[in-house]
């Protein structure tokens, strides 16, 4: 397993280089300059700023210099938020986005997998129908719509009825401020995990070895916990890695709705103004996060199912 992990880590490097090169080429093909912020901007001023930040150099030289600096964790100055450096912005905002993403993922895993297991065990029962209906509702509802509905319910309507639970719009200082954004961000992953857990559980429940276990006199609870659950978790665990990478690196809509000072809004703003240094840094961060989560998922396979060996 150690050899497998080291081999995967080694392949992180060409993968990240390919991601950086692809993003870099797309940014160069996009018209406009990151310093062209208004119609009154003089062309000579734009050229002076581009020369100051090295954007007048040949493209291969720009890319090699950026990669060399990124290896030393120097992502340069944000063109849009100068004189702030990209490293300072990410260091300030990424922990908040990661905190929100981790809570949303825990919420999605606990509630989603529980609903999926209950739905599979009680197939075609009222719990199954309730779980499927909730999953479809959460999956079809965008996160910002879910956020607005939660604000209306807990911040506007319930206080008007005299039930003030302490929720507010915006802020990240109190633990109660984390609840509504966590639900809004975790609703869609919850629905996805619930659906996949249900379908995987039903498929395993119909397997021959499960019928054999029941024929030997094992209780339904024992069959589910000892035989069905472990075999059904493999496809579900596969989803957890990329979902966590997506929600853990910032959500623009949820952060905007609840006024959370996370990384998502900086990334979207940088896309709008062609802030190349910020875009490349976030893409690399997402690539590292996604590769790390996929590696962890692959290693967890061997823990869940002892038959899997690397």
Over residues 69-86, the pLDDT tens digits come to 888 888 888 887 777 888
Q: What is the mean pLDDT of residues 81-98?
A: 87
Across the range 104-129, mean pLDDT stands at 90
Q: Grade residue 30 by pLDDT with cuts at 50, 70 and 90.
A: confident
Lowest mean pLDDT across 49-58, 202-211, 275-284: 49-58
Q: Assign 85 to helix, strand or coil.
A: strand
Q: How would you class 238 by CB atoms within 10 Å of its CB: exposed for 0-12, middle for 13-18, buried for 19 or more?
A: middle
pLDDT for 300 equals 80
Residue 275 CA to residue 91 CA, distance in Å, equals 17
* More reliable by pLDDT, 227 or 123: 123
Residue 245 or residue 306, greater confidence: 245
Whole-angstrom Cα distance, residue 176 to residue 168?
9
Average pLDDT, the chain: 83
Statement: residue 308 has pLDDT above 70: no
Q: pLDDT at position 184, please?
A: 92
Q: Could you tell me if 132 and 198 are in contact, meaning their C-beta atoms sit under 8 angstroms apart?
A: yes
Asked whether the beta carbons of 103 and 182 are under 8 A apart, the reply is yes
Q: Is the pLDDT of residue 310 over 60?
A: no
Residue 39 has pLDDT above 70, yes or no: no
84 by Cβ neighbours in 10 Å (0-12 / 13-18 / 19+) ranks as middle
Quick check: 80 and 34 in contact, CB under 8 A?
yes
Percent of the chain at pLDDT > 70 equals: 94
Least confident segment among 12-16, 37-41, 173-177, 219-223: 37-41
**In 10 A of CB 79, how many CB atoms?**
23
Q: Which residue has the higher pLDDT, 46 or 182?
A: 182
Is residue 36's pLDDT more than 70? no
301 to 232, 284, 308: CA distances (angstroms) = 11, 26, 7
Task: Report d(CA 281, CA 261) in Å as an integer.
Answer: 18
Average pLDDT of the segment spanning 148-165: 82
Which domains, and CATH codes, for the chain? Answer: 2-71 (no CATH), 93-304 (1.10.3720.10)
Q: CA nearest 188: which of 147, 220, 130?
A: 147
Backbone angles phi, psi at 85, to 5 degrees: -85, 155
Residue 189 has pLDDT above 70, yes or no: yes
Q: Tens digits of per-residue pLDDT, 259-277?
A: 888 888 778 888 777 788 8
Q: Identify the CA nearest to 191 among candidates 113, 248, 257.
A: 113
- Determine how many CB atoms are found less than 10 A away from the CB of residue 146: 22
The DSSP letter of residue 59 is H
The residues, any chain, with a CB within 8 Å of residue 155's CB and separated by 6 or more, are: 167, 168, 169
Quick one: pLDDT at residue 192?
92
């Amino acid at each position: 397993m150690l050899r497998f992990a080291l081999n995967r880590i080694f392949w992180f490097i060409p993968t990240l280089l390919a991601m950086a090169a692809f993003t870099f080429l797309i940014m160069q093909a996009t018209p406009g300059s990151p310093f062209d912020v208004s119609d009154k901007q003089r062309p000579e001023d734009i050229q002076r700023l581009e020369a100051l930040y090295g954007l007048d150099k040949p493209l291969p030289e720009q890319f090699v210099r950026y990669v060399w600096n990124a290896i030393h964790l120097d992502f340069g100055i944000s063109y849009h938020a100068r004189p702030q450096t990209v490293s300072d912005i990410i260091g300030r905002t990424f922990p908040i986005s990661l905190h929100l993403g981790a809570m949303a993922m825990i919420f999605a895993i606990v509630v989603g997998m529980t609903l999926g297991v209950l739905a599979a065990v009680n197939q075609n029962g009222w719990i199954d129908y309730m779980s499927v209906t909730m999953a479809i509702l959460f999956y079809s509802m965008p996160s910002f719509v879910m956020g607005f509905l939660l604000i209306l319910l807990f911040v506007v309507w319930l206080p008007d009825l005299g039930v003030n639970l302490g929720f507010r719009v915006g802020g990240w200082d109190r633990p109660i401020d984390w609840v509504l954004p966590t639900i809004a961000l975790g609703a869609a992953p919850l629905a996805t995990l619930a659906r996949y857990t249900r379908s995987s559980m039903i498929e395993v429940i119909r397997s021959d070895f499960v019928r054999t276990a029941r024929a030997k006199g094992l209780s339904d609870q024992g069959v589910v916990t000892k035989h069905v659950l472990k075999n059904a978790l493999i496809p579900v665990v596969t989803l957890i890695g990329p979902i966590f990478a997506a929600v853990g690196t910032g959500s623009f809509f949820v952060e905007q709705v609840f006024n959370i000072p996370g990384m998502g809004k900086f990334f979207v703003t940088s896309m709008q103004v062609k802030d190349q240094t910020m875009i490349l840094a976030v893409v690399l961060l997402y690539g590292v996060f996604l590769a790390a989560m996929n590696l962890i998922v692959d290693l967890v396979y061997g823990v869940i199912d002892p038959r899997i060996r690397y």
